[in-house]
Structure 1
C-alpha cells in the first residue's frame, strides 16, 4: 500500500500538477494546525502526535496518524505537493508547499522507525515595526533607529539562531524601503514577503533526479545584479554565495540585506570567514570586504518564548581581523541604551548624538 501511495504521489510531482489545491487536500490531519493563528512550526516524528510552536516553545498535540505507514504516506504526499520526490531512492525532501509553507521530510532508514516531517509556517504578510514593538521584540526608540537605518540605505546583516526571527525582522525592514525602490530577493525557498510594491523574487532551483538543472544562490545573486536592483537581498547566506553578496555590497549596491546563523554578534567574524572559505576566499579578503560592505549587524534571539532584537552593532576593521561592537543594545533590565559604537553608528547615519537616545 505504501508503494502505491508513493507511486501516485511521485507521479503527481513529476507531472507538475500539484496546483493550488486547498491545504486539506495534501496536509491531511495537519491542515488545521497549519491554519491555527500564531503557529510557526508543526513537527511530526512518531504516530499519533505532533509538536507545534505557537511562540512559547513546542507543545504536544494529538493528530490522526495511527501508525508509521500513515506518517510516511503523509510525508510523501506533502513532498509531491511541493513538486519533490520522496521515496526509498530519495529519502530526504526539502520543498515549498502550494500555500508558501516550507517542508522538510525524511524517510526511514535515514529517520529510523518513522518518517520525520518538519513544517515551517511562512507569514503571508510582513509585520510592521509597530507589530514587533507590540510583541515585545523592540521598543519605540529602537523602531525609530531601525527606520533610520533603512532610510539611510545602510547594508544590514541579521544574525541569530534558527527560529529566532531573522526573516521576520528583515521583511519588516524591507517594508520600510521607499516605494520607488526595486528590491530583488534571492532565497532558497520563498519566505520573505515585505509589504512593498516592487519586489522581484528569485528562488533557488535544485538539481533533478539526474543531477542536472540546478540554479544555486550564488548564480542568482549574480543574475540579480543584472536586473537593475536598488536593494539586493539574500534570504540566508550559508555557503559560497557569501562571495557574491560581499561583492555586490562593495560595488555600489547599498541598502542590501542578508542573514546568517550565529549565536552572538561576537561570532559573526568567524562565521563570515568560515563561509568565505567555502568560496575559496582568504580570511583577510573576507574581513576587508565585510568591513567595507556591511554597515550594521542586527542580532535577534529567542528567550522565554519571545523573539526579540537584542543588539544593533557595527563592523570594525581591526589589524588583524574584524570586530563587531554594540552601538545600541538591550540591557539586563530590559531597557535599551547606547553602546561603545554608538557615536560611530550615528556618524554613519549622519545624525546628531541625541537623535535616538
Structure 2
C-alpha cells in the first residue's frame, strides 16, 4: 500500500501594491506617454484618454513572490557590506550590491533579472515605489503632472486609488495604482531616511524632499482617519521665467508687466509690499518665483522659506526654517531668518508663506523700513488679507503705514490652469482692481508688458539662463535690449 505524501502548503505571499506597477499597455488609448528609468528598471507613464486615467507600467517581468520573504535576511547583509565598503544607498553600486545578493536567492533561469528586481525593491525602500515615475522630470514636463495624492477614496476599503493632477489634461484623475496602509508605511520609512518624519507623536509633516524635488505633506493616524494621507506636489525643476508664465496663460503681459514694475520701482514712489492671496493650490508660490525672476541680477535678493520651494537664481541669501532635532539643536523659525536677512542690508526679501504672527510682524518690519517685500497668504480677498494680518497681531498703525504700498494679487484655479485672477491696488482707503485702472498701465509698465508679450512668443526666453542674460542687457541699456528683442522675433 502506497502512503500518500502530503505536501505542506506554503502560505501565500502578499507583495506591497507599490512594489511593481502592472498594466497591459496594449489596451490603452494614450494621448501622451513617456518612459522613465530608475537604475535598471524602465517604466512607462501615460494618460489613457478613453478611460480618463493615468497609467504607470513597469516594463519588466513580474517580481517573483518567493523572493520577497528572503529580503528580510538579504537586506541587512547588503547594508552591512555597503557600510564596510563606503557604498552610498542612493547609488548604482548599492543597487548592484542588492542584485548580487538577490541573484543567489533566485533560480538559475531568473538570475539575469536580478538588477531589475533590485531596482524595484530599492525604489520601494528608498524612493516612492511605483509612484516614483509619476514624480519624474519626464512626467512633469511632458504630461503636466503637478500633484500625486494618496487620499482616503473609500473609508470601507483596505486600499485607496492613487490620484494625479495634471495641468496638461486639465484636472484630477485616478491611476491604475492603489495603496494600502502597508504601502504608506514603506513610503513613510523611505521619507524618514531623508528627514521627513510623520509618526503618531508628530502627527504630520510638510517638507520639501530635495532628492526627488517634491513637497511632501503627510498626516498619519490618529490625525488622519482611518489611514495615512500623503500629498506629493512636484516642485518646479527649474526657475520660472515671466515669458514662460505668460505663455502658459497664467497671467497677461499687462498684469505681469505691472508687477515687474512695482517690484523694482515701487508703487507711487514707495517700495512695494506684494502679497499673493488665494486658496491652497492656486499657484501663489509660483507667482513669487515669477516676480522675483525680474530682480536685477546685480541686486541682492534674500529668499526666506518654511520649506524650500522658490527657485530664484538671483538669490544671494537663502534661508530655510529648521525644526528642533534634539535638545542640543534648537529650532530656527522664519521670523528669525527674516530679521537676519534685514541685517544683511538686502533691498529685496521674498518668503514662500506667512504662517503665523511672528512671520507677519517680521515682514511688516521689512516693509516699513523700505525693503521690497513679497510673500503669500491664504485669503479669499484683499479685505480678508487685512483681517488675517490683524488676527496675527499686526497693529492697525502698522497696517495703515504700509497700506498705500500694499499690492494684493488674487490667484485662482480652474482645471489644468492656475492664474492671476485680479490685482488690487490701494486707492483712497479702498481696494481698486487693476483692470479698472488702465492709467496705471501706462509708461514703464506698458513697456515691460510689451517686452513680456514679445518674449513669451520665443521659447528661448522660457529658459532661465536666457532670461537672465536678457535682464542683464535690459538693466544696462533698456533701449538696446528692446531693439535686440524685437529683431529676434
What band does the TM-score fall into relative to the shorter chain?
0.7 to 0.9
Partner of 2:286: 168
Partner of 1:117: 230
Determine which structure has more spread, i.e. the larger CA radius of gyration: 2
Alpha-carbon deviations, 1:55-86, whole Å to 9, x = none?
Answer: 22321112253x322222212322x1431333
Contact 1:42/1:53 (CA < 8 Å) preserved in 2?
A: yes
SS at match of 2:302: strand
Partner of 1:219: 336
Structure 2 distance, partners of 1:21, 1:104, is: 26
CA apart distance, 1:115: 1.2
CA apart distance, 1:285: 2.4
1:41 to 141, 147, 154: 147
SS at match of 2:175: strand
Partner of 2:176: 62
Give unmatched runs, 5+ long, in structure 1: 9-16, 330-337
Partner of 2:416: 305
Partner of 1:86: 198
- How many residue pairs match? The answer is 316
Structure 1 distance, partners of 2:316, 2:303, is: 7
CA apart distance, 1:298: 1.5
CA apart distance, 1:220: 0.8
More displaced 10-residue stretch of structure 1: 230-239 or 206-215? 206-215
More displaced 10-residue stretch of structure 1: 227-236 or 150-159? 150-159
Contact 2:260/2:448 (CA < 8 Å) preserved in 1?
A: no
CA apart distance, 1:176: 1.0
Matches within 5 A, 1:139-178: 139-153=252-266, 154-178=272-296
Contact 1:50/1:62 (CA < 8 Å) preserved in 2?
A: yes
Partner of 2:353: 236
Matched, 1:295 2:396: no
SS at match of 1:315: strand
Contact 2:240/2:311 (CA < 8 Å) preserved in 1?
A: no
Two-structure CA RMSD over aligned residues (Å): 3.1
CA apart distance, 1:152: 1.2
SS at match of 2:256: helix
Alpha-carbon spacing, 1:77–1:351, altered in 2? closer, same or farther (3 Å): closer
Alpha-carbon spacing, 1:148–1:68, altered in 2? closer, same or farther (3 Å): same
CA apart distance, 1:210: 5.3
CA apart distance, 1:141: 2.8
Matches within 5 A, 1:190-269: 190-194=308-312, 196-208=313-325, 213-240=330-357, 241-253=359-371, 255-269=372-386
Alpha-carbon spacing, 1:107–1:316, altered in 2? closer, same or farther (3 Å): same
Give unmatched runs, 5+ long, in structure 2: 1-15, 17-71, 77-86, 93-121, 153-158, 267-271, 451-489
Structure 1 stretches of 4+ moved >4 Å: 17-23, 209-212, 349-357
Alpha-carbon spacing, 1:122–1:356, altered in 2? closer, same or farther (3 Å): closer
Alpha-carbon deviations, 1:44-65, whole Å to 9, x = none?
Answer: 1353521111122321112253
Matched, 1:26 2:127: yes
Structure 2 distance, partners of 1:19, 1:199, is: 32
Write 1 or 2 for the structure with the bigger share of helix: 2
Structure 2 distance, partners of 1:138, 1:352, is: 14
TM-score normalised according to structure 2 size: 0.58
Alpha-carbon spacing, 1:269–1:211, altered in 2? closer, same or farther (3 Å): farther
Structure 1 distance, partners of 2:447, 2:178, is: 58
Alpha-carbon spacing, 1:173–1:273, altered in 2? closer, same or farther (3 Å): same
Contact 1:50/1:60 (CA < 8 Å) preserved in 2?
A: yes
